[in-house]
A and B are shown apart, each in its own frame.
Chain A
Amino acid sequence: MAGLTLADVRFWYPATERPALDGVSLTVAPGDVVAVVGAVGAGASTLLLVAGNLAPRVTGGRLEGSVRTAPSGIVLPTPWTQASGMAFSVWDEVAFGPANLGVPRDEIARRVDRWLARLEVTQVAARDPATLSGGELQRVILAGVLAMEPALLLLDEPTAELDPAGAALVWRLVRELARADERCVLVATSDLDAIPAFATQVLWLQHGRVRAAGPPADVLARDDIWTDGPGATTVAGLWRQAGLAGPVPLTVADAVARVR
Chain B
Amino acid sequence: MTPALRCDGVWFAYGASPAVSDLSFSLAPGERVALLGKNGAGKSTLVRLITGLLQPAVGTVWVGDWETRGRRPEQLARRVGSVFQHADQQLFASSIRADVEFGPRALGLPRAECVRRAAAALSALDLEPLAHEHPYDVPPPWRKLAALAGALALEPMLLVLDEPTAGLDRALRGLVARAVAQRAAAGVSVMVVTHDLAFAAEALDRALVLDAGRLACDAPLAELLGDAARLTPLGLVPPAVAALSRALALPGAPLRAAEVARALASVARPSRPV
Contact = CB atoms under 8 A, between A and B. Distances in A.
Interface of A: 39-41, 77, 133-135, 157, 160-161, 163-165, 168, 190, 192-193, 230-231, 233-235, 237-239, 241-244, 252-253, 255-256, 258-259
Nearest to B173: A190
Given A40-B169, A168-B237, A255-B244, A242 B261 contact: yes
A137 to B, nearest CB: 12
A244 B264 contact: yes
Contact of B258 (A193, A234, A239, A241): A241
B247 A164 contact: no
B267 interface: yes
B264 A252 contact: no
A252 B245 CA distance: 9
Contact of B195 (A39, A164, A242): A164
B26 to A, nearest CB: 27
Contacts of B198: 193, 234
A255 B39 contact: no
A69 to B, nearest CB: 25
Given A160-B167, A233-B240, 12 more contacts: A40-B139, A40-B141, A164-B195, A164-B197, A190-B167, A234-B240, A242-B264, A242-B265, A244-B269, A252-B244, A255-B264, A256-B247
Contacts of A39: 169, 171
A199 B228 CA distance: 26
Contacts of A241: 257-258, 261
Contacts of A160: 166-167
The range of chain B's interface size is 35 or more
A161 B169 contact: no
A238 B263 CA distance: 10
Interface string B164-180: 00111111000000000
A157 B237 contact: no
Contacts of A77: 167
Contact of A259 (B85, B142, B197, B267): B267
B195 A255 contact: no
A253 B240 CA distance: 11
A140 B236 CA distance: 22
Contacts of A235: 240, 244
Contact of B236 (A157, A164, A258): A164
15 contacts: A40-B139, A40-B141, A40-B142, A161-B166, A190-B169, A230-B169, A230-B171, A234-B241, A237-B257, A238-B264, A239-B264, A241-B261, A244-B264, A255-B247, A256-B248
Contacts of A253: 247
B212 to A, nearest CB: 16
